[in-house]
Structure 1
Amino acid sequence: MVVGLALASVTPAAHAAEARQESAGRLADGTEAFAVTLKAANGVSARIISYGATLQSLMAPGRDGTVADVVLGYDDVQTYEARPNYFGVTVGRFANRIAGGRFMLDGKTYQLAQNNNGNSLHGGVKGFDKRNWKIVSVKSGPVASVVLSWTSADGEEGYPGKLDTKVTYSLDERGNLTIAYDAMTDKPTVVNMTNHAIFNMAGEGSPMGAMGHRLTIPASAYTPVTPTLIPTGELRPVAGTVFDFRTGRRVANGLRDGRDQQIAIGRGYDHNFALDKGVTATPQLAARLEDPASGRMLEVLSTEPGVQVYTGNFLDGTVLGKQGHVYRMGDGIALEPQKFPDAPNQPAFVSARVDPGRPYRHVMIYRVSIAPERR
């Protein structure tokens, strides 16, 4: 697949970030997958696998110096293929849901795969998360990076236009992991790409789960959903509801409050928040997640107008993750910066349309650090 890059390593300069590539094993069809590890001087490291352009691990030190992997997932690439659960994957062409798997563009209706309660979810049956991406480059230096590419054919999963896509993971010396999504099309289409990492800042598989984490979201409104999790079109104020995370609070405080119909519909939180910042030229804060015990803190920054919060509601104990850990509801939290769900069918939402000559770009950052102790 990538000639001359397997097992490649570039010796880093002092205090620089290192990038190293190696084989990740064979997929079911015999194709080789690759893994690239990016490592910063402060102990933060990220491992990316070519299958699904997936963030397989994100290692972060805690207040006492203990380093833990803070993303849920699997130990080997074969399980990502055999038991897909969107752990850390790149999702596209369209992240989240499109009602009825159908949208209209320039007067023509496009029918997508209906792979989620009659809707299309995360790009369809074989979206970007189930493709073995090509590794284009691997670099060490002040910023270590890996660039992956995938060309989505015209008509793939029902979407119009050939789409040349690129995902760049970059880790700097301070431990900021930037993920940049770029795409160019040869005819009008819709694009909405993000990462689907599920986080537990105490360390994946920790017995107390992640619902005791403190979550902050700078959003005054969210998009309530129908029973099939499609936005109604309303922007509902969070004030006075269990969706108000503007000043930060424990995720558990509201997670099971079925008196709010939206919590009952989502089986917990599975909702898009309309960020007060809207679309921005540079990444700005979308969410902050803190584990009080370890002190590990994650800040998610993005150029996009929304962030989907998902509390692992469909993890039911049948999934065995890393080190044989049993993953259950509440064991992690996904924070997915994005355009709003069903945007192609909701004229009031920020458009997901992409045209020839006007490339798509989304830049997001996972910033890990130590939270200040709260008294």
Structure 2
Amino acid sequence: MNIDKRDINGKWNEYTLTNQHGMSVSVLDFGGIITKIMVPDRNGNIENVVVGYKDYSEYQQNPNYFGAIIGRVAGRIQGAAFELNGETYHLAANNGENHLHGGPEGFHQIIWQVTPFEKDAEVGLELKHTSVDGEAGYPGNVDITVTYTLTNDNQLVLAYEAKSDQTTPITLTNHAYFNLSGDLKHTIKDHYVTLNSSKFVELDEELIPTGKILNVEGTSFDFRGGRVLGDGFNDHFEQNKIADSGYDHYFIFDQTNEYSATVLDPESGRVMTVTTNEPGMVMYTSNSLGEELELAERSSCKYLGVCLETQASPASLHHQGFPSVVLKAGETYQKETVFSFMVED
């Protein structure tokens, strides 16, 4: 097990965690950004399975949120406002008239305090930040700890903890774009995904939840038995069309299986499972990713990565029946998501 630290442009630090099987995860203190995850394919070739910039200075803006911690609230908040305990709070509108991923100065834009740690069978990083009352328009002083742990079982564990002195919305996630082909050799069109979800959230033209929860049965959103992502890269189903011929939707987990999600790249043999105590996740298939970005291995393009953003639903701030994002004063927010990597023969 090993932890390396290197200076980036005299401004940031990048930490690389390596286990005894050669798997490694690289993380910036800026935004808690995962820059690389190196894992073997079925032939033992160790390659990167996340999307990242070639020039690290590009992370300063990072409009696609590559690899970053997202907060206070992951996702879109309708009208950049919400009501809580009879009071209306106004947030920055950075996605049309709506608030997206904590606003323009969200957790993806801060330098986290990082403490590395090493144990017998794991290495990791503890990232801390205090979000002050009124930051981005949210109430309460919130102490946040995000822990990245790499185990010798080729698991990356993301643990989130937060406490606030006022009741406030919070749901944290990581915005890594996964591509199991290795070094971005192919798009994710043929990635075979299984989701433990029979319901998803309907979106309007602005990608804001309408308040309706739809059944996946008979649609390209039914991943319960597994299907390739390319099934949804078309305009045949209205909800795929709204998401620019892809997916950008919240799936509510059925909570009956060991894994909430499984992703397989048949060519490389890489398999990634997702296990979480979150009630659901947004699956985003990089539908709006253009061709102008210079990434670590190639130029960017549509469908180059899939984000599996485990979280509660910000739609709960405006509609009944959605997993709540509200953390009460004095209570502890504790969530965990485990990404496990293996290969299929």
Q: What is aligned with 1:202?
A: 181
| Whole-Å separation in 2 of the counterparts to 1:139 and 1:354 | 31
CA distance in 2, matches of 1:70, 1:87: 12
Partner Cα separation in structure 1 for residue 55 and residue 121 of structure 2: 29
Q: Secondary structure at the match of 1:262?
A: helix
Query: Which of 78, 81, 85 is the equivalent residue of 2:64?
Result: 85
1:367 and 2:340 correspond: yes
Deviation at 1:235, TM superposition (A): 1.6
**CA–CA separation in structure 2 for the residues paired with 1:351 and 1:270:** 19
Among 327, 332, 338, the residue aligned to 2:305: 332
1:189 corresponds to 2:168: yes
Whether the aligned pair in 2 keeps the contact of 1:284 and 1:302 (CA below 8 Å) is: no
1:351 corresponds to 2:319: no
- 1:65 corresponds to: 44
SS of 1:322's equivalent in the other structure is coil
User: How far apart are the structure 2 equivalents of 1:41 and 1:219?
Assistant: 34
Q: Is residue 238 of structure 1 aligned with residue 216 of structure 2?
A: yes
Match of 2:251?
273
Contact 1:51 1:77 in 2 (8 A): no
Provide Cα deviations, 1:65-88, integer angstroms capped at 9, x if missing partner.
Answer: 111100001135322004432111
Letter of the aligned partner of 1:154 in structure 2? Answer: D
Q: Distance between the aligned counterparts of 1:341 and 1:255, measured in 2?
A: 25
Letter in 1 for 2:286: G
Q: In the alignment, which residue of structure 2 is the partner of 1:252?
A: 230
> Is residue 98 from structure 1 mapped to residue 72 from structure 2 by the alignment?
no
Q: Does 1:44 pair with 2:23?
A: yes
Q: Secondary structure at the match of 1:235?
A: strand
> Residues 77 and 153 of structure 1: is their aligned pair in 2 closer, same or farther, counting only changes over 3 Å?
farther
Return the alpha-carbon distance in structure 1 between the equivalents of residues 221 and 27 of structure 2: 32
Paired with 2:66 and 2:311, the residues of 1 have a C-alpha distance of 17
Q: Structure 1 CA distance, aligned partners of 2:219 and 2:259?
A: 22
Name the CA distance, whole Å, in 2 between partners of 1:97 and 1:284.
Answer: 29
Aligned amino acid, residue 202 of structure 2: P
Q: 1:320 aligns with which of 288, 294, 307?
A: 294
Stretches of structure 1 that go unaligned for 5 or more consecutive residues are 1-16, 27-31
Establish whether residue 141 from structure 1 lines up as the match of residue 126 from structure 2: no
Number of paired residues?
A: 344
Task: Decide which of 23, 28, 42 is 2:7's aligned counterpart.
Answer: 23
The residue type equivalent to 1:109 in the other structure is T
Letter in 2 for 1:220: S
Give 1:128 shift: 0.2
1:336 and 1:82 mapped to 2: Cα distance?
20
For 2:193, the aligned partner's letter is L
Aligned to 2:271: 297
Q: 2:104 aligns with which of 103, 121, 125?
A: 125
In 2, the alpha carbon distance for the partners of 1:135 and 1:249 equals: 39
The two structures have a TM-score, normalised by structure 1, of 0.89
Structure 2: distance between partners of 1:66 and 1:100 = 47
